[in-house]
Structure 1
Amino acid sequence: MVSIKDIAKQAGVSISTVSYALNNSPKVTLETKTRILAVAKELNYVPNAAARQLKKQESLIIGAFLTDFSGAFYGDLLQGMKEVVNRKGYDLIVCSGKQSHRLLPERMIDGAIILDSAFSDEELLEYADRGHRLVVLDRELRHDNINQVLLDNKAGANLAMDYLIENGHRKLYIVCGPPDSYDSRQRLTAVRQTLDRHPEVEAVFLEGDFNKASGEAAGKKILSELSGEPPGVFCLNDEMAIGLFQTVQDHGKGIGVDLSLVGFDNIDLTRYLSPRLATIEYSKHRWGAMASQQLLQMISGEQVEHERIYVSLVEGESVRPRGAES
Structure 2
Amino acid sequence: MISIKDVAKHAGVSVATVSRVLNNSGYVGQDTRIKVEKAIQELNYKPNEVARSLFKKQSSTIGLIVPDITNPFFPELARAVEDTAIQLGYNVILCNSDEDEQKEQNYLDLLQQQYVKGIIVSSNTMTAKQIKQLNIPVVSIDRVISKGLPTIVVENKKGAMMATRFLQSKGCRRIGHISGNSGVSNAEERCEGYKEIVSGEPWFDETYIVNGKYDMQASIQAAMELLQRHPEIDGIFAANDIMAIGAIKAAYQLGKKVPGDIAIVGFDGISLSKATTPELTTVQQPLYEMGEKATKMLVGLMEQQQDMDQENYQILDVALIEREST
| Band of TM-score, shorter chain | 0.7 to 0.9
The 5-angstrom pairing of residues 145-164 of structure 1 reads 146-164=149-167
CA distance in 1, matches of 2:29, 2:61: 28
Letter in 2 for 1:34: K
Deviations 1:253-308 (A, max 9, x none): 20122222111112222213344322101221111111101101111112331211
CA distance in 2, matches of 1:275, 1:10: 64
The offset of 1:177, in angstroms, is: 1.0
Deviations 1:49-98 (A, max 9, x none): 35533554430001110112112212321121111111111111101232
Match of 1:17 in 2: 17
Cα 1:194–1:121 shift into 2, 3 Å: farther
CA distance in 1, matches of 2:187, 2:37: 57
Match of 2:235 in 1: 232
306, 312, 322: which one aligns with 1:315: 322
1:215 matched to 2:222? The reply is no
1:28 matched to 2:32? The reply is no
CA distance in 2, matches of 1:35, 1:105: 32
CA distance in 2, matches of 1:46, 1:269: 39
CA distance in 1, matches of 2:178, 2:198: 15
Match of 2:108 in 1: 101
1:283 matched to 2:286? The reply is yes
The offset of 1:45, in angstroms, is: 6.8
CA distance in 1, matches of 2:325, 2:221: 19
Deviations 1:100-120 (A, max 9, x none): 111344352110001133423
Deviations 1:210-237 (A, max 9, x none): 1111221123224424545x52211111
RMSD: 3.0
Match of 1:199 in 2: 201
CA distance in 2, matches of 1:35, 1:275: 62
Cα 1:166–1:121 shift into 2, 3 Å: farther
1:181 matched to 2:184? The reply is yes
Deviates more, 1:5-14 or 1:57-66: 5-14
Deviations 1:242-263 (A, max 9, x none): 1110232244320122222111
Structure 2 residues without counterparts, runs of 5 or longer? 98-102
Tell me the secondary structure at the aligned position of residue 175 of structure 1: strand
Tell me the secondary structure at the aligned position of residue 113 of structure 2: coil
CA distance in 1, matches of 2:28, 2:209: 69
CA distance in 1, matches of 2:225, 2:191: 20
Rg larger in structure? 1
The offset of 1:164, in angstroms, is: 2.2
Match of 1:115 in 2: 122
The offset of 1:153, in angstroms, is: 0.9
Cα 1:175–1:30 shift into 2, 3 Å: same
Percent identical: 27
The offset of 1:156, in angstroms, is: 0.9
CA distance in 2, matches of 1:2, 1:267: 44
CA distance in 1, matches of 2:292, 2:66: 16
1:63 matched to 2:63? The reply is yes
Tell me the secondary structure at the aligned position of residue 202 of structure 1: coil
Tell me the secondary structure at the aligned position of residue 249 of structure 2: helix
Cα 1:36–1:244 shift into 2, 3 Å: closer
CA distance in 2, matches of 1:104, 1:250: 45
Scaled by the length of structure 2, the TM-score of the pair is 0.83
Match of 1:323 in 2: none
Is residue 64–residue 113 contact of structure 1 (8 Å, CA) maintained in 2? yes
Letter in 2 for 1:211: D
The 5-angstrom pairing of residues 247-258 of structure 1 reads 247-258=250-261
Cα 1:48–1:200 shift into 2, 3 Å: same
1:135 matched to 2:174? The reply is no
* Count of residues paired in the alignment: 311
Deviations 1:179-212 (A, max 9, x none): 142221221222233334x333524111211111
Scaled by the length of structure 1, the TM-score of the pair is 0.83
Match of 2:92 in 1: 92
CA distance in 2, matches of 1:169, 1:45: 65
Match of 2:100 in 1: none
Is residue 84–residue 289 contact of structure 1 (8 Å, CA) maintained in 2? yes
Cα 1:83–1:45 shift into 2, 3 Å: closer
Letter in 1 for 2:301: M
Deviates more, 1:83-92 or 1:5-14: 5-14
